[in-house]
Structure 1
């Protein structure tokens, strides 16, 4: 997958998430039997995904026991749907069975969830998920020949193991996306197992799947975090902005109707209810294709395809052009004498329509920026409508909007200038130091991941014509990763404030953060200044990770040092590594140089 194509894909993630793999044609969109049949046929896969995401420490043996129980439940209900247990919500049944696994709740520390019921239990399982998966062993890697033999010997077992490992490491990715990832991985296995250069084939063809999964995970965590922390209004605002930009011809009434399906989808998907998520995502796709004439002029061919080709086609289609008769300003929100009265009649609908109108007129803006402008307008009317002459006040709203966009644009320009001045490696060191200083409580691995994602955003976007929207969108996803989904996640007071105070303005909030003054560094241990000869065996990517890990830990130990001092220490360290690795006895050299570097 080319970088530019991946960037376009991530842009569109602000429009739509992955849908269900079904062989469904447009004329079948109202036939629920297709989706029901799919769920029944994939009971095992859906059980694996749900269990691995809810109880990430669970073993494969425990997973297989649960799959067996769920399949037996399915068979009982297919034989007799009048049984009382068959009218239960699927996710409740699943969690009940997880709790019934002998010794498992106690072993994996989720018995407190099993003592709750219904919504409280579902919420407990959700918040039991851990985004930071350092506690899991490294992703198991097989020799390509072993991998292909395992696939040929038992396809189902091979794919179940793969799905289990991917799901437990991506606990917030929606179930339909993981099913697609597994299907795409199987296609790779089929092709590569017939090749002579199997290792190279797997490495090349699996890379786009990994990128795809990372992009989905980041987006879905960000939107679910917004929904769970800020509620339905913010979720709807996000979706209004992205749909209006993608489909500027859609009527507001049609958009509000579509939003009902989209909101219902997120309600199930964000909770981790795999069955409700699948039904919800399928409903969204059906809605779009059944109303394509009023939604977009560019998806007719897409909707004639089967899923997943249908969705891939829509994702890769260009956004519609802004209608020629659509001016850059909608006068009703700034020039009308009755703005305050219209706002007071139905505030939620009024501001939703404002975001819709502004978004379809400014397709070049990022989704976070459109939300900022919506918030600026809301605050402006809060002030203006309390004045003696409101129209004189809100008539200058466009100036406020332009001012907000100028501030955001300047922030992006400064970030891209850093890239131009420092280069990719220098940019990495800048963000590893910056992020560690503002959130030193995060684990080293988390900080490394966030820094790499921010650098990827800038190196991907800063050379594009759509630089502003690209950087602002992707940088916001990095903050979504940092803030997480759990509303009770706590890092430090300053970071928590930026994560929880105002979703639209968290980017400017984070940009203004300084080093956490309340942070108390851990005591310096002997290990922190001890280096071993294994550094000399590390090559390329592994060596780079070791260096970055050292830098992040250095900042954690010495947060009071300036960025320049930290960079100097880091440079001295890399020079020492190169020097020692050239010696006949690197260990002796490291013992001599280590204390000098660490102090």
Structure 2
């Protein structure tokens, strides 16, 4: 299994800290040379109940297909995507779709069929027989008699029991197990050798299985946005001197590979993974000073070198203060929120290489509530939040929206005075969102909000973060006094005055949800100026009657 060892260089990329030059032609050659192992993994993951004999039939068919296309690339079948070809061949196996209940997938074609096969996978593998075990002497004898057959069986068994693990990881597991067998079969005490060395391989598989399932779960449920923050955090910690522009370019390559890897397209996963590795090593001078020697090594030594390389030295000009010192922080956030939060994660991660990835990536979920809440900009951020909340859930009463807005501001002002501000915000924001969602499961606001209220608790804040204005909302008919102002405004003080201003803002947003934040800000400023002007006038009522003309826009 000499070729299989070549894949040992790919597994660490799934933490996005890998770095190898692997041009397209080399990638294609690697796929062709390892077509048997790739076909075993794909088949065993898609149809976990299939026997090894079934797998052998498909492998033979795929090898013949590969040979035909290598000999003549102009054949019509050679223009198809490899994953589509593989699924077509699985569906063509007599009686197999009916026997294992995936006929409904075979009735679909191409890109509709792939997710069907994916969702047919079973995470609970209790229906499979126990993992076959052999006495170490028997195991070693089988290994010596036919390494290929021994390792094919091993890949088949681990793939069907780990249907969501990326193919390069499974290939690496098999390569590692081959090394264990090489060593232990020469040892006198084979039992203890296998127990010790094989345990490390299994632990490696479990770690990657857990990570990849979580990552793909987030990707399939929430898209690439969450993954981008994870990738930004990992790469920024490993390569702190990388420029943000270069990082965003790399993230595009990293994110693009998830569709294939997460949905089980083995060949596309390998190709996209190779593209990322090539990207990193081709820009190594601007990414890290620690990987130069690694990128010059040959396979597979380069992979282990990259894995064991240290995090690069932190630059001296790190700029985390940018997110606490800027007077325009809310404007920057609102202008391009995705880029704003991405850059914050980038700066925060390379400033804090000691934090775990979950602790780093978790910050982007809270940054909207904390980092933009600067003391001298409380009113601006409160204004922004109230607009957003009203646009998102206009069905709520004006008073409830104001109350929720007040509680959010209270949470922020409370937490920003504490050393553990992020943990504080975690707890208090969850309470506010919990109140928004309500205790009763039957509470209905609108489909988008209801979805976020019912989604995975860990992702609830992120779900709300991505909500847009509810375009289905039809505001009630306006009443004559909705925007009628009088001298009573002049008697209100502090909190009472703020509530009156908030009430004006919420009603304005409900009525004119199509207005931009800037237009709303302009109208709100006009209202505040009118209040100040008229309350200072000798005749406030007459002044209000004159000024109210500007609000007859509805």
TM-score w.r.t. length of structure 1: 0.62
Cα separation, 2, equivalents of 1:123 and 1:204 = 38
- Indicate yes or no: 2:361 matched with 1:371: yes
Structure 1 distance, partners of 2:116, 2:279, is: 32
Q: Is structure 2 residue 228 aligned with structure 1 residue 272?
A: no
Q: How does 1:363-402 map to 2 (within 5 A)?
A: 363-379=353-369, 385=380, 387=382, 399=416
- Tell me the equivalent position of 1:337: 327
Q: Is 1:498 aligned with 2:457?
A: yes
Decide whether the 8 Å contact of 1:369 with 1:405 is kept in 2. no
- What residue ranges of structure 2 are gaps of 5+ in the alignment? 1-11, 386-408, 428-451, 465-554
CA distance in structure 2 between the partners assigned to 1:397 and 1:241 by the alignment: 28
- 1:397-408 alignment runs, 5 A limit: 399=416, 403-407=420-424
SS in 2 for 1:188: helix
Indicate whether 1:199 and 2:158 are aligned.
no
Task: Report the CA distance shift for 1:323/1:151 in structure 2 as closer, same or farther (over 3 A).
Answer: same
Residue 48 of structure 1 contacts residue 160 of structure 1 at CA under 8 Å; is this kept in 2?
Answer: yes
Counterpart among 286, 303, 308 of residue 278 in structure 2 = 286
Distance in 2 between residues matched to 1:219 and 1:279, nearest whole Å: 21
Give the alignment's Cα RMSD to 1 decimal: 3.1
Residues matched between the structures, number: 400
In the TM superposition, what is the alpha-carbon distance from 1:152 to its structure 2 partner?
1.8
Counterpart residue number, 1:83: 75
Query: Taking structure 1 as reference, are residues 336 and 189 closer, same or farther at Cα in structure 2, changes over 3 Å only?
Result: same
* Change over 3 Å in CA distance of 1:13–1:494 after alignment to 2: farther
Match status 1:226 vs 2:243:
no
Match of 1:91, SS state, is helix
- The 1:409/1:387 distance shift into structure 2, 3 A limit, reads closer
| 2:351 matches 1:358 | no
- Give, in whole Å, the separation in 2 of the partners of 1:384 and 1:273: 50
The corresponding residue for 1:190 is: 182
CA separation in 2, counterparts of 1:400 and 1:106? 63
CA distance in 2, matches of 1:497, 1:379: 20
- SS of the residue aligned with 2:290? coil
Q: Structure 1 pair 325/227, CA: closer, same or farther in 2 (3 Å)?
A: same
- Cα deviation, 1:106-131, whole Å, max 9, x if unaligned, reads 11111111112222211111111111
Q: Kindly provide the CA deviation profile for residues 391-450 of structure 1, in whole angstroms up to 9, marking residues without a partner as x.
A: xx999899389544445999xxxxxxxxxxxxxxxxxxxxxxxxxxxxxxxxxxxxxxxx
CA–CA distance in structure 2, aligned partners of residues 379 and 498 of structure 1: 17
- The residue that corresponds to 1:72 in the other structure is 64
**Mapped contact 2:17–2:235 kept (Cα < 8 A):** no
Q: Report if the CA contact (8 A) 1:185-1:206 is conserved.
A: yes
- CA deviation digits over 1:316-353, x for unaligned, max 9? 222223323325x332x333233333334332222211
Out of 151, 164, 176, the residue aligned to residue 156 of structure 2 is 164
1:314 is matched with 306
Could you tell which deviates more after superposition, 301-310 or 51-60? Answer: 301-310
Which blocks of at least 5 consecutive residues in structure 1 are unaligned?
1-11, 20-25, 411-492, 506-599
Cα distance, 1:98–1:387 mapped onto 2, change above 3 Å: same
Distance 2:138 2:383 in 1: 78
Larger Rg: 2
Q: SS state of the match for residue 57, structure 1? A: coil
2:55 aligned with 1:63, yes or no? yes
State the partner residue of 1:444. none
Secondary structure of residue in 2 paired with 1:281: helix
Q: Residue deviations 1:203-231, cap 9 Å, x none?
A: 12212111111111111111111111111
Structure 2: how far apart are the matches of 1:61 and 1:401?
Answer: 63
Alpha-carbon separation, structure 1, partners of 2:140 and 2:257: 37
Per-residue deviation, residues 136-169 of structure 1 (Å, max 9, x unmatched): 1111001112111211222211110010001111
2:123 corresponds to 1:131: yes
Per the alignment, in what secondary structure is the counterpart of residue 337 of structure 1? coil
Q: Is the contact between residue 18 and residue 306 of structure 2 (CA under 8 Å) also seen in structure 1?
A: no
Alignment of 1:565-584 (within 5 A): none
Shift, 1:18, TM fit: 7.5
Tell me the CA shift for residue 314 of structure 1: 2.1
Q: Tell whether the 8 Å contact from 1:258 to 1:284 is kept in structure 2 after alignment.
A: yes
Residues 139 and 344 of structure 1: CA distance in aligned 2, closer, same or farther (over 3 Å): same
Q: Alpha carbons of 1:143 and 1:39: their partners in 2 closer, same or farther (altered >3 Å)?
A: same
Structural mapping, 1:405-420, within 5 Å = 405-407=422-424
SS state at 2:367 partner? helix
Residues 13 and 216, structure 1, Cα contact 8 Å, conserved in 2: no
Structure 1 Cα separation of the partners of residues 249 and 418 of structure 2: 28
CA distance 1:397–1:371, shift in 2 (3 Å): farther
Q: Does 1:153 align with 2:149?
A: no
Partner of 1:34: 26
Structure 1 distance, partners of 2:142, 2:346, is: 51
Q: Take 2:334 and 2:457, find their aligned partners in 1: how far apart are those partners?
A: 29
Aligned equivalent of 2:467: none
How many angstroms apart in 2 are the aligned matches of 1:148 and 1:369?
44
Alpha-carbon contact 1:369-1:408 (below 8 Å) kept: no
Instruction: Report the 3-state secondary structure (helix = DSSP H, G, I; strand = E; otherwise coil) of the residue aligned with 1:378.
Output: coil
The corresponding residue for 1:528 is: none
